[in-house]
Amino acid sequence: MKSLMKRHDWQAIIVLILLWALFFWRILTPNTYDQASFVESDYSGQFVTFGAYQYARFSNGEIPLWNPYNNGGLPFIADTQAAVFYPPRLLTIALSSAWTYASLQVEVALHVLLYTLLMYALIRRMTLGKQYSVLAAFIGAITAGYGGFMTGYPPLQVALLEAAIWLPLVILGILEATRQAVIRWQWIALAGWALGLSWMAGHPQTSWFATYAAVGFLAYRVDFQWRKWLIWTSMLGAVTFGVTAVQLIPGFEYLQLTMRNNFTFDAKGGGFEFNDLTSLIFPRLPFFWSPLYFGAIGFALAVIGLLSKERDRIFWGVVAIVALGLSFGDKSPLFHAAYNILPGMRFFRGQERAVFLFANSTAILTAFGVIALLDSPATFRRWFSGFAAACALIASSIYVLWSSNPDVYNYIINQAVFIAVILGIAAIAIYNLPRWKWALAALIVFELFTVNMDNLNYEPIPASERTFMQPSPLVEYLQAQTGVFRVDGGLETTRIGIPPGGNTGSLYHIADIRGISPLFLDGPHAIIQRALPSEVAWEMFAVRYVFSYLETLPVTSQIVATEGDLKLHELSDPRPYAMMLYDYVVAPGDEFAREYLANPNFNERQTLILAEEPPISIRAGAEGESTWNAAITDYQPEQITIQVSTDENGLLSIAHVDYPGWHITLDGVTVHPIRAYGAVIALPIPAGEHEVILTYAPRSFQIGAGLSLVTWSGLIILGSLTLFRGIGLWRSS
């Protein structure tokens, strides 16, 4: 029997792999005539660009702690969506001879395959000993991997998808740990490792949902024995934290200083509309994306799963209902309660992402429904037939409406008729169970693939022909320029950043003050995109070039290159990256500093706005009488060297964002920067010739790296010992 089950498992796994290859064949095929690629979106603007920077730095044997090419500079290690040390990303980088548009496509597709295999393994263990366990696990894996959630926007939101796929392994670890009366701590360690990988993938909101599901499932599995739950939850949390500390600690430091820390309840309360519930059965209604859809057959099976006798059905039913309630955001009282009760809820917006838990729960319930249906087909035939008849009646009603007004109902009738036909065929299959059990599985595959296989994520353009990766003539012009400067890539209605838009500064290695990362330091963001005219941002951040469709700018400039209607302006008098100033005012707070900057009569190049008094005396009236020079002799992402000379005490104004972790020395002696203009830094400089060195070596990274090194080393040793022990037991048996 065991050998038979193993054979059936291998057969199911092979079919899962073949179906995966079918679903993604257009991005996997070497035939360029048939190839498709992901649309240019956040996939390209956020993830391909950051991945390109990550690839370039690691390929040179460097750790990308800082990124000077977007947002006026940002702590790359701390930007969650950069996923700097996420192991699968490191593997992608190691196996790639070059960074291309297709690099992440393959990584995304492989994550979906891994997700289906992990879900299969989880459900197989959940239904251990059941006659139809293999079929149930297969259908559950298909439902999870190719339902509306996983095939919707997550492939374009790479971090979300890659954070989501680890939940089945987390739950599997907890399931195996609690299968016996004595908790098996090795499995808790596995669950913690998997949860840590989720956090490393770069979408904290998804990982936060996964964490709550994990601790809830652990409480349920130990029968709410709170002392036992607390002990093992602590171990789970410790392993998770240790695995991801190298990114998590810098990330938490960064989050406190970003503009997202100031979001209100209203900004965080967005979610689904209630009419999205129609897509539970009828896909792409009312909109094209249907993250709630997991198949009409799957919906019926999930209801049967809730009515089954499976032990875990209640837990996953509750998770599904709670997740669905949260996904409506502030339209649901459940979100209002969770916002005030659950730690972490206040950090995130876009509450529709709770559908991640709904999708996993319904896949598991669907598998439970398969077993219940096959164990007692007569019990559920009438119910399923009634459900199919109801959907057919709805389709008939829509047909009547369509016949009188085809323009309005043409799209709706297609979906309704398709679902009615699918359910009708499924009802026939159910009346022939268990003989037609694999026919039912094939029908589920057909339904999900028909709806989700060819969607708006793809365009019939080979990845190799995407112009996104190729610098335009305007970009090539900038790449040929010398010196340290920034550009304003533009803030247009349809584009942010250097054309074609996004974090393309990281792709082309051109320092842009714009970017689309969801995290942006609050002070720079207020100046660049929120509170002040663009010309003030250009002055604060040493912008020399501006992309614009305008013929003239608010300051004197000349057009040095054009591409269609787009123009590249060079400012006639750009501010230097580093310069000496001898006059200042003190404004204790960023808002006060921005009030000064908003005054059109204020001269930023003459007077510094400091957050505190400088520690050296500066002669009144020295401005305009002093001679100075500030030359940048070395500019690297994590280290900048400036040679400064001044005949009087003064202040070195540097167009570099003020952020913890930058260590500054003046002639080898540590000095502390003063926050200037509410966003950048200034240094007190005594008269004479000096060397200033800025080095980014954040303590948060050092602490996190140490914790992660210890944790990963321990897990590798534990895993090796467990593997060797398992091999020894297998040989002896």
- pLDDT value for 1: 40
Of residues 626 and 660, more confidently modeled: 660
Per-residue tokens: 316:
């996953």
Looking at the fold, whether 704 and 692 belong to one and the same domain comes out as no
pLDDT at residue 456 tops 50: yes
* pLDDT per residue as tens digits for the range 97-121: 999 999 999 999 999 999 999 999 9
DSSP 212-236: HHHHHHHHHHTTT-HHHHHHHHHHH
- pLDDT value for 727: 76
> Which residue, 258, 256, 204, 203, is CA-closest to 71?
258
Looking at the fold, whether 690 and 584 belong to one and the same domain comes out as yes
Task: Note whether residue 255 is domain-resident.
Answer: no
Interval 171-180 mean pLDDT: 96
Residue 171 identity (one-letter amino acid): I
- pLDDT value for 584: 95
Looking at the fold, whether 632 and 602 belong to one and the same domain comes out as yes
Number of structural domains the chain divides into: 3
User: For position 674, which CATH number holds?
Assistant: 2.60.40
Task: Note whether residue 322 is domain-resident.
Answer: no
- β strands within 552-617, DSSP E: 557-563, 566-571, 578-581, 583-586, 607-610
Mean per-residue pLDDT of the chain: 93
Residue 510 identity (one-letter amino acid): I
- pLDDT value for 722: 82
**Crossing angle between the packed helical segments 377-404 and 296-307, to the nearest 10 degrees:** 140
Asked whether 539 and 575 are in contact (CB, 8 A), the reply is yes
- pLDDT value for 4: 47
Task: Note whether residue 70 is domain-resident.
Answer: yes
Asked whether 567 and 548 are in contact (CB, 8 A), the reply is yes
Kindly tell me the sign of the dihedral angle through the C-alpha atoms of 369, 372, 377, 382. Answer: negative
Give the confidence band of 448 by pLDDT, cuts at 50, 70, 90: very high
Asked whether 684 and 654 are in contact (CB, 8 A), the reply is no
Per-residue tokens: 100:
């291309």
Task: Note whether residue 297 is domain-resident.
Answer: no
Give the confidence band of 5 by pLDDT, cuts at 50, 70, 90: low
Task: Note whether residue 226 is domain-resident.
Answer: yes
Structural domain for 190, as ranges = 158-248+698-733
- Residue 522, φ and ψ in degrees, nearest 5: -60, -45
* pLDDT per residue as tens digits for the range 199-209: 999 999 999 99
* pLDDT per residue as tens digits for the range 686-719: 999 999 999 999 999 999 999 999 999 999 999 8
- pLDDT value for 514: 96
- pLDDT value for 210: 98
Looking at the fold, whether 635 and 688 belong to one and the same domain comes out as yes
Looking at the fold, whether 482 and 561 belong to one and the same domain comes out as yes
pLDDT at residue 555 tops 50: yes
Looking at the fold, whether 656 and 673 belong to one and the same domain comes out as yes
Distances (CA, A) of 288 to 88, 282, 283, 415, 459: 31, 11, 8, 11, 16
Asked whether 354 and 328 are in contact (CB, 8 A), the reply is no
Q: Strand pairing of 674-676 and 680-685?
A: antiparallel
In whole angstroms, give the CA distance from residue 536 to residue 543: 10
The distance from CA 70 to its chain's CA centroid, rounded to whole angstroms, is: 17
pLDDT at residue 492 tops 80: no
- From 575, 596, 621, the end of a domain falls on 575
Task: Note whether residue 423 is domain-resident.
Answer: no
Looking at the fold, whether 652 and 601 belong to one and the same domain comes out as yes
Task: Note whether residue 647 is domain-resident.
Answer: yes
* pLDDT per residue as tens digits for the range 284-342: 877 777 899 999 999 999 999 999 988 899 999 999 999 999 999 999 999 899 989 98
Looking at the fold, whether 607 and 655 belong to one and the same domain comes out as yes
Of residues 706 and 454, more confidently modeled: 706
- pLDDT value for 245: 98
Give the confidence band of 413 by pLDDT, cuts at 50, 70, 90: confident
pTM, 2 dp: 0.94
Range of lowest pLDDT (303-312, 342-351, 403-412): 403-412
* pLDDT per residue as tens digits for the range 556-589: 999 999 999 999 999 999 999 999 999 999 998 9
Looking at the fold, whether 606 and 588 belong to one and the same domain comes out as yes
* pLDDT per residue as tens digits for the range 507-552: 999 999 999 998 999 999 999 998 899 999 999 999 999 999 999 9
- pLDDT value for 406: 78
Task: Note whether residue 131 is domain-resident.
Answer: no
Asked whether 372 and 146 are in contact (CB, 8 A), the reply is no
Looking at the fold, whether 628 and 702 belong to one and the same domain comes out as no
* pLDDT per residue as tens digits for the range 207-226: 999 999 999 999 999 999 99
Q: What percent of the chain has pLDDT over 70?
A: 98
Interval 466-474 mean pLDDT: 94
- pLDDT value for 216: 97
Looking at the fold, whether 554 and 627 belong to one and the same domain comes out as no
DSSP 614-664: -SS---TT-TTT--EEEEEEEEETTEEEEEEEESS-EEEEEEEE--TTEEE
In what order do the strands lie in the sheet containing 669-671?
628-636, 639-646, 688-696, 662-666, 669-671
Looking at the fold, whether 673 and 594 belong to one and the same domain comes out as yes
Reduce the secondary structure of 433-490 to three states and give it as a string. Answer: CCCCHHHHHHHHHHHHHHHHCCCCCEECCCHHHCHHHCCCHHHHHHHCCCCCCEEECC
